Amino acid sequence: MNEADLVLDIIAGDRWRLGTLNLVAELELPDAWVGGGFVRNAVWDRLHDRPMTPLNDIDVVYCDRTRTDASIDENLALELAARSPKRPWSVLNVARKGFKSVEAAMRKWPETATAVAVAIQPGNRLALLAPYGVTDLVAMIVRPTSPEMVELVKARMEKKRWLKLYPNLELALEEDAG
């Protein structure tokens, strides 16, 4: 099994995550994905043989250049919360931040292992979006997406207690950024 298939297999085997993805798919948003810790933690939890780590938020990202008012994102988050109130929803139209696609926005996310997203596509197909690939994610490597992200990644690692939760992580902070 290749690395991308492993990631998709982990997500496909998680009923809670599949339920989350189906709720997002029902919104029929353009270029819509769920990413960040939603995918990263699922993979790291599985590779560390530990139960699901609670998520601080569920990052729903989409790109709709025709509707960029921030209130739309707020209303979408409220709609998702009404359907599933125990999930910590966060919704962002990346077009509001000047991006032309979710993939372009994800290239600005801090770590390569975090810049991974999944979605339920037409035909009930599970899809993967990973601008930096999934090698670092599956190899449990924390690598900044650019040299400018090194300090932010260090702070995030500390705040999120990744080394305590996932002791098999390998750090690639300075020398290989980007």
Render pLDDT for 99-132 as a digit per residue (tens, 0 to 9).
999 999 999 999 999 999 999 998 999 999 999 9
Tokens linked to 123: 């035909």
Q: Is the pLDDT of residue 86 over 80?
A: yes
Span 147-166, mean pLDDT? Answer: 95
Instruction: Report residue 176's pLDDT band, with 50, 70 and 90 as the boundaries.
Output: very low
* Domains defined along the chain, listed by start: 3-171 (3.30.460.10)
Amino acid residing at 152: L
| pTM of this structure | 0.94
pLDDT at 1: 84
CB distance 90 to 66 below 8 Å: no
Q: Is the pLDDT of residue 142 over 60?
A: yes
pLDDT at 30: 97
Instruction: Give bridge partners of residue 126 from the DSSP assignment.
Output: 120
CA–CA separation, 88 and 20 (whole Å): 11
Span 156-165, mean pLDDT? Answer: 94
